Amino acid sequence: MKIRAAVSRTGRTAPVIEELDLAAPRADEVLVRIRAAGVCHTDLRAHQGGLLPTPHPVVLGHEGAGIVEAVGAGVLHLRVGDHVVLSGSSCGVCSSCRDNHPTSCLEVMPRSFGGQRMDGSSALSQQGLPIHGHFFGQSSFATHAIADGRGAVRIEADVPFAIAAPLGCGVLTGAGAVLHAFSLKPGATLVVFGAGSVGLSAIMAARLAGASQIIAVEPRPQRRALALELGATAALDAGSDEVPAQVRQLLPQGADFALNTTVVPQVYEWSVQVLAMRGVAAFVSVPPIAVQIPLQTLLSGARSLRGIINGDAVPQRTIPLLIDHWRRGRFPMDRLITAFGFEAIADAFAAIHQGTVIKPVLLMDPS
């Protein structure tokens, strides 16, 4: 079928919408008419190339939401007409998948960034030439996408697509880090570095989980103010070199958990410095240069540093849970979203790059 998709090509400042051909879904896939797709910093970095290994030309997008139009014979949990949020792809058979940790799938990197199916094929082409796709098992910057059935999560039809889409990655990563990777208990303390969509989702989840103190560290004053409205008990200016000392003034024994949602090299060290004895620091992305963490800082306090992918969540469980909290007014993720028409994808890319919006969401059919 003919579709319209935003194609990232080397040398472009942003993806450009082109007409492509899309093949039918295979047995383990679904065809989804995309209604909304969130734009994430990972999309920006993959478009720019270099740090992330995604080949060009490619259709990006990994926070899609839409309506199922065709279902592969091996996908048993979905039907035509279902509304879905698209999350990442996983194999379903490795030890992590069998242990309900699909975001730690053995094949997570090639399935996310390889630009193709695991057999080397792509459902996307243009005038007979293949176009890379299957970004995070979906490539949802398009009017239609072939998605991995395991990553497609059914949602109720009254949930607005613009609100549902960011649950595929950004919101899931922040909330999942708190609820699953940290398993934060009531009374625990948390420091969140960066008040973007991931950081603010973590703050909202920490409030839900009963954290006693939640400290946001963010350079933009308007985002610090929003963090306080969404559940942070304090908000510090990341522009100060005294951040670790300021955290220690608020938490003399240190924080139980620290979540770094930035790629600022210094913040990786800060996230360890603010920890309590036996505290855990985590990061969700890699910096552009090497970072040195003194091992004695970890060993002397039995502290831990770990990476987290998509919040270590099970999307089929966590996405419906977060939607339920949103319905009840306990997880106002809609406050993070700014809508853009699909044709304005370049504006959406510029807005998230410049930090003028928190979570841009593309609407494929604004009507």
DSSP labels, 134-196: -GGGT--SBSEEEEEGGGEEEE-TTS-HHHHGGGGTHHHHHHHIIIIIS-PPTT-EEEEE--S
Q: What's residue 167's pLDDT?
A: 98
Same domain, 136 and 152: yes
Do 175 and 164 fall within a single domain?
no
Are residues 94 and 225 both part of a single domain? no
Whole-angstrom Cα distance, residue 146 to residue 297?
A: 46
Q: Which two tokens stand for residue 241?
A: 């070199």
Number of folded domains that form the chain: 2
Query: Is the distance from CB of 37 to CB of 64 less than 8 angstroms?
Result: yes
CATH number at residue 115: 3.90.180.10
Predicted confidence at residue 15, as pLDDT, reads 98
Q: Is 216 part of any domain?
A: yes
- Top-confidence residue, 302 or 216: 216
Task: Kindly report the CATH number assigned to the domain that includes residue 204.
Answer: 3.40.50.720
Pair (280, 291) in one structural domain: yes
Does 86 map to a domain?
yes
Q: How many CB atoms lie within 10 A of CB 328?
A: 8
Check whether 68 has a pLDDT greater than 60: yes
Q: Are residues 21 and 141 in the same domain?
A: yes
pLDDT surpassing 80 at residue 235: yes
Give the three-state DSSP class for 294.
Answer: coil
- Predicted TM-score of the model (pTM): 0.95
In a domain, residue 295? The reply is: yes
Upper half-sphere CA count for residue 244 (Cβ side, 13 Å): 12
d(CA 302, CA 297): 8
Range of the domain at 214: 171-310
Q: Does residue 45 sit within a domain?
A: yes
In angstroms, the Cα distances linking 269 to 132, 236, 252, 280 are 36, 17, 18, 13
Statement to judge: residues 90 and 142 lie in one domain: yes
Q: Looking at the structure, do residues 246 and 345 belong to the same domain, yes or no?
A: no
* 35-60 per-position pLDDT tens digit: 999 999 999 999 998 766 799 999 99
List the Cα angle 192/202/40 in 5-degree steps.
Answer: 95
The predicted pLDDT at position 125 comes to 98
Same domain? 78 vs 211: no
What pLDDT score does 366 carry?
A: 64
Q: What is the pLDDT of residue 85?
A: 98
Q: Is residue 317 part of a domain?
A: no
Residue 163's Cβ-count burial label (10 Å; 0-12, 13-18, 19+) is buried
The predicted structure's pLDDT at residue 32: 98
Per-residue pLDDT at 199 exceeds 90: yes
pLDDT of 87 higher than 60: yes
Contact assessment for residue 45 and residue 52, using Cβ atoms and an 8 Å cutoff: yes
Q: How far apart are CA 92 and CA 101, in angstroms?
A: 10
* Tens-place pLDDT, residues 94-117: 999 999 999 999 999 999 999 999
Is 325 part of any domain?
no
Mean pLDDT (the chain) is 95
Query: Residue 289 has what pLDDT?
Result: 81
Whether residue 125 sits in one domain with residue 161: yes
Same domain membership, residue 207 and residue 336: no
Indicate if 101 and 225 belong to the same structural domain. Answer: no
Model confidence at 174: pLDDT above 90: yes
Residue 316 covered by a domain: no
Residue 301's pLDDT band (cuts 50, 70, 90): confident
Judgement on whether residues 146 and 52 belong to the same structural domain of the protein: yes
Is 107 exposed, middle or buried, given 0-12, 13-18 or 19+ CB atoms closer than 10 A?
middle
Radius of gyration, alpha carbons of the chain: 20
* Of 216, 268, 221, 220, residue with least CA distance to 246: 216
Residue 322 covered by a domain: no
Handedness of CA 72, 76, 79, 84 (dihedral sign): negative
Confidence at residue 291, expressed as pLDDT on a 0 to 100 scale: 85
Q: Which pLDDT tens digit goes with each residue over 120-168? A: 999 999 999 999 999 999 999 999 999 999 999 999 999 999 999 999 9
pLDDT of residue 300: 85
Q: Inform me whether the pLDDT recorded for 74 exceeds 70.
A: yes
Confidence of residue 367 (pLDDT cuts 50, 70, 90): low
Question: Over pLDDT 70: what percentage of the chain?
Answer: 99
